[in-house]
Structure 1
Amino acid sequence: MKTFHCNRCQQLVFFENVLCERCNALLGYLPDVGEISAFEPADELPETAQIPQTPQPAETAQTPETATASDKRWRSLHPEAQGQLYRQCHNYAVENVCNWMIPADSPDTLCRACQFTETIPDLTVPENRFYWYKMEVAKRRLLYTLMTLGLPLESRLENPETGLEFAFLESKEDSGPVMTGHNHGRITLNIAEADDAAREKARTELREPYRTLLGHFRHESGHYFFDRLIAGKPMWEAAFRERFGDERASYADALKAYYDNGPPADWAQHYISAYATMHPWEDWAETWAHYLHMVDTLDTAVSYGLALLPDHPQEPELTDQTPVEEASFNNLMSRWFPLTYVLNSLNRSLGQPDGYPFTLASPVIDKLRFVHRIIAASAKKPG
């Protein structure tokens, strides 16, 4: 992800920020521009309105008095939207779980990102608001990457048949456990994944070197885009099966075999993760997620002026590079390996585990190349 700055004082800000730490300007993301903007008030709120600064109790979160806060208009200070008027997303102005803006003349009350969320957690449970916030943060990062790559992206409101939607649910005694997964465009995530302690416990028990909330979003989006970009397209299906195997094989049988026997001993020579060995669908989703990891990490590195293209591994050299989304796959890989070497070396210097606990064997690289081809072929062309 690229870097962002406050347009009022040029302070470096992050994608999730709602307020500039230096000049106190309101910040918001403009999906139509692809930038974080600073804002100034364009009018005054009615006297009854309030803009909550901290999460409010669920039973008062939607009251008419606070709802008027999302009607306040803000003037953008960003050069690409100079003077244009926006409103805060309802989940920004009232719920404090978003920071995206909506054009002032739009009939929508929810921003582009929040329109993808179909079910939110039960907010009568106090900690669920914080988990909801973390879910929305990870979801917006996923959507940012998908939009940047130009992938076809529609909500269920836009396309009831093949649109994408998210349901954030919790396991309960009366309704049973919630399984994170994808089903015909609906991605369900167990909000326990937003609990760092619970997720770390699962990561250790399942022997997963990498388990993050954002990783879950990226993995499940891979299942969605398999249906959208590969399924039913003979050319792509044939190329997919050459690399990943036949997805028509019984998923239930594959799942049972995996949990009964575990992955093959030599899985790292052919797969990005042990879980990818379970079924071709999971191999694809794991590889897709890894590609998104790479794209976003390299884009971040480039935006900070860090691009490693050493002539020799012992002599890294900083050079200017084009944005990763414009680079060829070979160029992407040539930047990825030295960057992960530096990342792991920095972590080891701090006494931490490797930040990149993966090895990429040749068959894995070929699968990543296939993901790259699929995205390049499916991306919307400018203009």
Structure 2
Amino acid sequence: MKIFQCGHCGHALYFENHLCENCGHLSGFRDTDRKMLTFNPNTQTALISDREQREYKYCKNKIHEVCNWVIDKDSDEEFCTACQFNRTIPNLTDVNNYEKWKELEIAKHRLIYQLQKIGLSLSSKIKDNDGFCFDFVTQQNDPSLMTGHANGVITILLREADAILREQMRKQFLEPYRTLIGHLRHEVGHYYWNRLILTDKEALSQFRSIFGDERQDYGEALKAYYKMGAPEYWQNTFISKYATSHPWEDWAETWAHYLHIMDMVETAYFFGVDVKPKNLDDETTTKVSFDPYTETDFSAIVDVSIPLSFAVNSINRAMGLQDVYPFVIRPAVVEKMTFIHQLLLPKR
């Protein structure tokens, strides 16, 4: 993600900031050009941007402090582009629900930012049956209700936002990595398989040659996976164990990791990150000198992501934390990600 600045004092802002911590001016993200606007907090009657002197309004979800996106004052919309994808939100009278929903909204807004940056078609299923939407729900007394995707509806159980439970589930399933943004990227990948692959004969043929034939029985494939586990030496051709279960899951897992890498490299680019370790060979040295969304050669993106992830993993270990990106990207996985990259290039 890019770096944002206060339009009043120039102080650096996070994507989620509702105000500048330096000067106190209000802040709001305008998604049409991916800019953070700032506003005089002492003006009670209007939200007028510091630099442009244009009037805006906050997304209706600002009242819950889960959204800082702004809309043109005269727009008929009450919710911003990102929040228009919410079909179901949890019961907010439950304080625990609210805190978990807030974490989900942070991940969702970052996902929508990235999909917009790629240039993908975004439409809410609430208005367009071909679009997608989110149901952020509790399982309650329905054990069949699970996190997943079906016909454009992305269901995320609130328990995924419980850090303790998420860590327990990560250990239970022997996963090296489990995050909210990872779940959202994975599930939206299923939606875009339907939009980008299923409707394109050439893309479908290429997909089957790289990922396998998705026409094999999905339910039986998952049963076999949960009974037998991943095959031996799965690391040579898959990004994760779960990716081995079925070509659809291989696509969704690879898609999610593709988005992880693109976001990591973009962030490093805007921070001007150079990795120059002392007394090590060139394999751990890199200069992130380009925005990955403008790069046609995915191998160039991979080449900078490897030493970059090694560096940030090392920093995390110095703080007693888990690796930011605990994965090894083998050539077969690079081929799969390259297919995704080439598929998305015309969208930019």
What TM-score, normalized to structure 1?
Answer: 0.86
Distance 2:199 2:8 in 1: 50
Query: Which protein shows a greater Rg?
Result: 1
Is 1:91 the counterpart of 2:66? The answer is no
Q: Determine the structure 2 residue equivalent to 1:6.
A: 6
Distance 2:104 2:204 in 1: 32
Q: Is the 8 Å Cα contact of residues 263 and 277 (structure 1) preserved in structure 2?
A: yes
Q: Determine the structure 1 residue equivalent to 2:44.
A: 44
Q: Is the 8 Å Cα contact of residues 186 and 252 (structure 2) preserved in structure 1?
A: yes
What is the SS of the residue equivalent to 1:281? helix
Deviation at 1:156, TM superposition (A): 2.0
Q: Determine the structure 2 residue equivalent to 1:55.
A: none
Q: Determine the structure 1 residue equivalent to 2:319.
A: 350
Is 1:21 the counterpart of 2:14? The answer is no
Partner AA of 2:99 in structure 1 = F
- 1:79-158 equivalences in 2 (<5 Å): 82-92=52-62, 94-158=63-127
Distance 1:280 1:325 in 2: 26
Distance 1:290 1:318 in 2: 20
Q: Determine the structure 1 residue equivalent to 2:134.
A: 166
Q: Is the 8 Å Cα contact of residues 42 and 75 (structure 1) preserved in structure 2?
A: no
Task: Single out whichever of 235-244 and 330-339 deviates more from structure 2.
Answer: 330-339
- 1:227-376 equivalences in 2 (<5 Å): 227-308=194-275, 314-315=281-282, 319=287, 321-327=289-295, 328-376=297-345
Cα 1:320/1:367, change in 2 over 3 Å: closer
Is 1:75 the counterpart of 2:48? The answer is yes
Deviation at 1:369, TM superposition (A): 0.5
Distance 1:151 1:31 in 2: 14
Partner AA of 1:371 in structure 2 = I
Q: Is the 8 Å Cα contact of residues 66 and 102 (structure 2) preserved in structure 1?
A: yes
Partner AA of 2:32 in structure 1 = D
Cα 1:351/1:340, change in 2 over 3 Å: same
What is the SS of the residue equivalent to 2:96? helix
Q: Is the 8 Å Cα contact of residues 126 and 133 (structure 2) preserved in structure 1?
A: no
Q: Is the 8 Å Cα contact of residues 265 and 288 (structure 2) preserved in structure 1?
A: no
**Considering only aligned residues, what root-mean-square deviation do their CA atoms show, in Å?**
1.8
What is the SS of the residue equivalent to 1:187? strand
Encode CA deviations 1:160-214: one digit per residue, 9 max, x unaligned: x2111000010112x3353000111110000100111111110011100000000
What is the SS of the residue equivalent to 2:101? helix
Partner AA of 1:299 in structure 2 = E
Structure 2, unaligned runs of 5 or more: none
Deviation at 1:317, TM superposition (A): 5.4
What is the SS of the residue equivalent to 2:308? helix
Encode CA deviations 1:15-50: one digit per residue, 9 max, x unaligned: 0010111111001111112011111269635xxxxx
Partner AA of 1:276 in structure 2 = A
Partner AA of 2:55 in structure 1 = L
Q: Is the 8 Å Cα contact of residues 6 and 12 (structure 2) preserved in structure 1?
A: yes
Q: Is the 8 Å Cα contact of residues 308 and 335 (structure 1) preserved in structure 2?
A: no
Deviation at 1:318, TM superposition (A): 6.1
Cα 1:324/1:313, change in 2 over 3 Å: farther
What is the SS of the residue equivalent to 2:64? coil
Is 1:34 the counterpart of 2:34? The answer is yes
Q: Is the 8 Å Cα contact of residues 309 and 338 (structure 1) preserved in structure 2?
A: no
Match of 1:185 among 132, 152, 175: 152
Deviation at 1:153, TM superposition (A): 1.0
Percent identity between the aligned chains?
A: 41
